[in-house]
C-alpha cells in the first residue's frame, strides 16, 4: 500500500453525532423561544468547531447574545449527553480492522476531551495512534496545521498520508498539507461540494480497497 498513515475526520465520517449536537443546540435555544434546529440544519451548521457553531446559530435566529454567552451551556449539556444518540457509521469498524498495520489518526474540530471520550466509549480509540482536536493545533481545519501536526508527531511524509472526511474543510486541510484526500458521501455535506477530493466513496467499507489500489488508479 502506498500509504503509511490514514487521517480520519470524526463527526460525519466515523460517527453520526448530529442528533446529540441538535439536542444540545436546542437546549441553548429554548430560553429564547425561537424555532429549534432540525437534524438537516444541524448537519449544515457543524464542522468549524463549537464557537463557530454558536455564531452561526446566533446569526440564523437573530439572537441578542454573543457566542461566549451560549458556549458554556452548550458544551455542558453536550458533554452530559455526548453519546445519547450518536452511532458509528456502517463499515467503519470493518475498515479500521482491515487497515491493521497502517497508522491511523483522528483530526477533528471538536473539543479534544469530547473527541477522546466519544472514541473511547464507542470502542474506537484503540485503533488510533493520535487524536487531534480543536485545542491541539494553533488553528482548526481547513487550516493545514492540524494535519501537519499529525505528520510531524508520527514522522510520516505528506506523500505517504491520506485524509478521509465528509467536508470541504477536510479536503482543503489535506490538500494544503500536501496529502491525498478521500471524501465520504454519506456524511453531512452533499457530494457536489466534495469535487476537489481525489476520490469519493459511498461507504467506509470501500476505503481499504480504494487505498490498496491507489497506485493502480492514479496511473490510469
Q: What is the pLDDT of residues 86-96, one digit of tens each?
A: 999 999 999 99
* Secondary structure E strands in 9-156: 15-16, 87-88, 103-107, 130-132
Average pLDDT, the chain: 96
Are β-strands 103-107 and 130-132 bridged in parallel, bridged antiparallel, or unpaired? parallel
Q: Which pLDDT score is estimated for 54? A: 98
Domain that holds residue 72: 18-80
Instruction: Say if residue 139 is in the same domain as residue 187.
Output: yes
In the residue annotation, 9 being an active-site residue is answered as yes
Predicted pLDDT of residue 47? 94
* Domain termination residue (choose one: 52, 80, 108): 80
Count the domains in the chain: 2
Residues 202 and 154 in one domain: yes
pLDDT of 140-185, one tens digit each? 999 999 999 999 999 999 999 999 999 999 999 999 999 999 999 9
| pTM of structure | 0.95
pLDDT range class, residue 218, cuts 50, 70, 90: very low
95 & 199 share domain: yes
Specify whether 28 is located in the same domain as 55: yes
- Same-domain check for residues 9 and 67: no
Asked if 69 and 100 sit in the same domain, the reply is no
Q: How many residues belong to the chain?
A: 220
Residues 55 and 101 in one domain: no
pLDDT digits (tens, 9 = 90+) for 70-120: 999 999 999 999 999 999 999 999 999 999 999 999 999 999 999 999 999
Shared domain check, 129 and 146: yes
* pLDDT score recorded for residue 1: 83
The CATH number given to whatever domain includes residue 63 is: 1.10.150
Same structural domain, 12 and 70: no
Distance CA 81, CA 79 (A): 6
- From CA 34, how far away is CA 21, in angstroms rounded? 17
Task: Let me know whether 115 and 22 are in one domain.
Answer: no
CA distance 47 to 41: 12
Q: What is the pLDDT of residue 219?
A: 38
User: Considering 4, 9, 69, 112, which one is annotated as catalytic?
Assistant: 9
- The CA-based angle 82-85-89, given to 5 degrees, is 100
- pLDDT confidence of 53, banded at 50, 70, 90? very high
Q: Indicate whether 220 pLDDT > 80.
A: no
Task: Give the CATH number of the domain where residue 195 resides.
Answer: 3.40.50.1000
Amino acid at each position: 500500500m502506498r500509504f503509511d498513515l490514514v487521517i480520519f475526520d470524526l463527526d460525519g465520517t466515523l460517527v453520526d453525532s448530529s442528533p446529540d449536537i441538535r439536542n444540545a443546540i436546542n437546549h441553548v435555544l429554548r430560553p429564547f423561544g425561537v424555532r429549534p434546529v432540525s437534524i438537516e440544519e444541524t448537519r449544515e451548521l457543524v464542522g468549524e468547531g463549537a464557537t463557530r457553531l454558536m455564531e452561526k446559530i446566533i446569526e440564523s435566529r437573530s439572537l441578542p447574545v454573543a457566542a461566549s454567552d451560549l458556549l458554556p451551556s452548550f458544551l455542558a449539556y453536550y458533554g452530559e449527553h455526548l453519546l445519547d444518540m450518536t452511532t458509528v457509521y456502517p463499515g467503519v469498524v470493518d475498515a479500521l480492522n482491515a487497515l491493521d498495520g497502517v497508522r491511523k489518526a483522528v483530526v477533528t474540530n471538536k473539543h479534544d476531551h469530547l473527541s477522546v471520550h466519544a472514541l473511547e466509549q464507542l470502542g474506537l480509540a484503540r485503533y488510533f495512534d493520535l487524536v487531534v482536536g480543536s485545542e491541539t493545533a494553533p488553528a482548526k481545519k481547513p487550516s493545514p496545521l492540524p494535519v501537519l501536526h499529525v505528520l510531524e508527531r508520527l514522522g510520516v511524509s505528506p506523500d505517504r498520508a491520506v485524509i478521509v472526511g465528509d467536508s470541504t474543510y477536510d479536503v482543503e486541510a489535506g490538500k494544503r498539507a500536501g496529502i491525498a484526500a478521500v471524501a465520504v458521501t454519506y456524511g453531512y455535506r452533499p457530494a457536489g461540494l466534495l469535487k476537489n477530493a481525489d476520490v469519493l466513496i459511498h461507504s467506509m467499507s470501500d476505503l481499504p480497497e480504494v487505498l490498496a489500489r491507489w497506485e493502480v488508479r492514479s496511473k490510469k
